[in-house]
C-alpha cells in the first residue's frame, strides 16, 4: 500500500475519512467492496448483511446509513447484489423442518422479506418456478445458473433501492434543498466473471438529474467492462 500509494494511509489518518460512496452489499465472502471495486482505504463506507437488505427497523443498517448520509455526506448509495446469493436461494427453497434452533430462527426471520418477494413477484422466471412447485412444499433451493435465482437477485436489489428511497432518512434529505443530493443505485455483481450490471433503477432527489454510475458496469451484453481501481 505504501509503495503503490505513498502517503495515503497517513493522509487518511490525519485528515479523516471522506468517502463519496456508501456500499450496501451481501455478507458473502466473495463479494466484499474491496474485492468488487479493488477499492482503496477511504473510498467506500460499507454495510453488509445477508442478501444486501434494508429495513428501517434494523438499527444497525439504519445507523450506518444515517451516519453515511448525514455525517459523512456520501453522494452515492450503492446497493450491490450478486449472482449465486445464498440468502436469495434460501428464500426460494422450503424452510428447514421445525423445531428450529437459534441459528435457523435467526436466518429464517432475516430472509422473510425475500420470501415475501418470491411469493408476490410477477417476474416470469419467478412465477414459472412457483408454478412448478405449487403449494410450496419440498421446493429445492435454486443454484447459480437457475433463472429464478438470477431473477430473485435482481428483484431484491430493486426492492432494496426502493426501500431506501422511501425511508424517512432519505425523504427528509430530499425535502431539504440546502443539502447535497444523494443518489441510490442498484447493481449486480457476477461472481463468475467479475462483471457488474447496472439495473437502471437509480433514484435521486426530485428534479435533479441522476449522474452516471461512477464505476465500470454493463448495461447490455455487448458492453462488458472489467473492474478497476478508482483510487488516487
Query: pLDDT by residue (tens digit) across 201-230?
Result: 999 999 999 998 877 665 534 333 333 332
How much is the pLDDT for 221? 41
Query: pLDDT by residue (tens digit) across 58-101?
Result: 999 999 999 999 999 999 999 999 999 999 999 999 999 999 99
Question: What are the C-alpha distances in Å from 46 to residues 24, 79, 144, 211?
Answer: 6, 10, 25, 21
Known binding positions for Zn(2+): 26, 28, 82, 85
Q: What is the CATH number of domain 16-85+144-198?
A: 3.40.1050.10
Q: What is the b/e burial string over 44-68, where b = at least 16 CB atoms within 10 angstroms of the residue's CB?
A: bbbbbbbbbbbbeeeeebbebbeeb
How much is the pLDDT for 204? 96
d(CA 180, CA 72): 11
The model's pTM is 0.88
How much is the pLDDT for 135? 84
- Considering the chain, what is the average pLDDT of its residues? 88
On the 0-12 / 13-18 / 19+ scale of CB atoms within 10 A, 232 is: exposed
Known binding positions: 26, 28, 82, 85
Helix (H) / strand (E) containing 157 = helix 147-165
Compute the 3-state secondary structure of the chain and give helix, strand, coil in percent, each to the nearest 5.
40, 15, 50
Amino acid at each position: 500500500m505504501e509503495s503503490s500509494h505513498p502517503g495515503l494511509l497517513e493522509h487518511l489518518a490525519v485528515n479523516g475519512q471522506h468517502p463519496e460512496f456508501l456500499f450496501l452489499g451481501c455478507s458473502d465472502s466473495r463479494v466484499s467492496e474491496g474485492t468488487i471495486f479493488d477499492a482503496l482505504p477511504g473510498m467506500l463506507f460499507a454495510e453488509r448483511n445477508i442478501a444486501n437488505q434494508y429495513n428501517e427497523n434494523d438499527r444497525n443498517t439504519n445507523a450506518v446509513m444515517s451516519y453515511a448520509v448525514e455525517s459523512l455526506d456520501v453522494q452515492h448509495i450503492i446497493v450491490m447484489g450478486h449472482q449465486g446469493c445464498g440468502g436469495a436461494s434460501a428464500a426460494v427453497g422450503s424452510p428447514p423442518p421445525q423445531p428450529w434452533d437459534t441459528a435457523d430462527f435467526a436466518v429464517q426471520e432475516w430472509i422473510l422479506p425475500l420470501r415475501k418477494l418470491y411469493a408476490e413477484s410477477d417476474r416470469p422466471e419467478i412465477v414459472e418456478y412457483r408454478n412448478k412447485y405449487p403449494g410450496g412444499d419440498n421446493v429445492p433451493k435454486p443454484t447459480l445458473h437457475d433463472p429464478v435465482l438470477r431473477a430473485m437477485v435482481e428483484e431484491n436489489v430493486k426492492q432494496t433501492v426502493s426501500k431506501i428511497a422511501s425511508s424517512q432518512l432519505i425523504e427528509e434529505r430530499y425535502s431539504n434543498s440546502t443539502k447535497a443530493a444523494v443518489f441510490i443505485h442498484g447493481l449486480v455483481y457476477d461472481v463468475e466473471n467479475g462483471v457488474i450490471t447496472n439495473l437502471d433503477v437509480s433514484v435521486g432527489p426530485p428534479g435533479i438529474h441522476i449522474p452516471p454510475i461512477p464505476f465500470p458496469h454493463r448495461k447490455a451484453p455487448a458492453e462488458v467492462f472489467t473492474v478497476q481501481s478508482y483510487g488516487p
